[in-house]
Amino acid sequence: AYWVDSQQKRYVPVKGDPIIGIVTAKAGDIFKVDVGGSEQASLSYLAFEGATKRNRPNVQVGDLVYGQFIVANKDMEPEMVCIDSSGRANGMGIIGHEGLLFKVSLGLIRKLLAPNCEIIQELGQLYPFEIVLGMNGRIWVKAKTVQQTLIVANILEACEHMTSEQRKQALAKLSES
């Protein structure tokens, strides 16, 4: 297989990509979600685990959702869902109200999601925290305190232009304090 690796910040929706979206509007049966692309994606209220017409998911404007695209081409508005093909959530759906959302370049996301990513492994030994990475360049982090959350976020943002040595130095300083 061959692929073209490029540095870009602008995300283009691709079918099957898991992404973090921000709900911007409720329009009857669907939600409008900002995914960082040229168009907003639509998310049906039935596309959540255990959702029925009577049992609607509790999604408000401004909520963060983690889902994947089922339709994404240049001719149509992208559509996303928060369940997989068998109807299970598998971690997708509304992301909690706490935590911090920030943007990084797409190349960094791919680096962080690579099978043996040192950055993620080293950070994981620092503090307990949870993280969601969207292929659209968005990362959501939540740690026990606001300070820890900000530290994790800053390190990830700085990883774009830090060498691995600089990063290890920074982490060593942090684990000392």
Q: Which residues bind other proteins (CB under 8 A)?
A: 1, 3, 14-18, 66, 90-91, 110, 113-115, 117, 120, 123-125, 127-135, 142-144
State in angstroms the smallest separation of the CB of 171 from other proteins. Answer: 13
Q: Which is nearer to other proteins, 35 or 123 (CB)?
A: 123
Query: Closest Cα partner for 126 from 100, 149, 99?
Result: 149
State in angstroms the smallest separation of the CB of 29 from other proteins. Answer: 27
Q: Which is nearer to other proteins, 54 or 74 (CB)?
A: 74
SS (H, E, C) the chain: CCCCCCCCCCCCCCCCCEEEEEEEEEECCEEEEECCCCCCEEEECCCCCCCCCCCCCCCCCCCEEEEEEEECCCCCCCEEECCCCCCCCCCCEEECCCCEEEECCHHHHHHHCCCCCHHHHHHHCCCCEEEEECCCCEEEEEECCHHHHHHHHHHHHHCCCCCHHHHHHHHHHHHHC
State in angstroms the smallest separation of the CB of 150 from other proteins. Answer: 16
Q: Which is nearer to other proteins, 25 or 96 (CB)?
A: 96
Q: Which is nearer to other proteins, 30 or 117 (CB)?
A: 117
State in angstroms the smallest separation of the CB of 14 from other proteins. Answer: 5
Q: Which is nearer to other proteins, 117 or 162 (CB)?
A: 117
State in angstroms the smallest separation of the CB of 71 from other proteins. Answer: 13
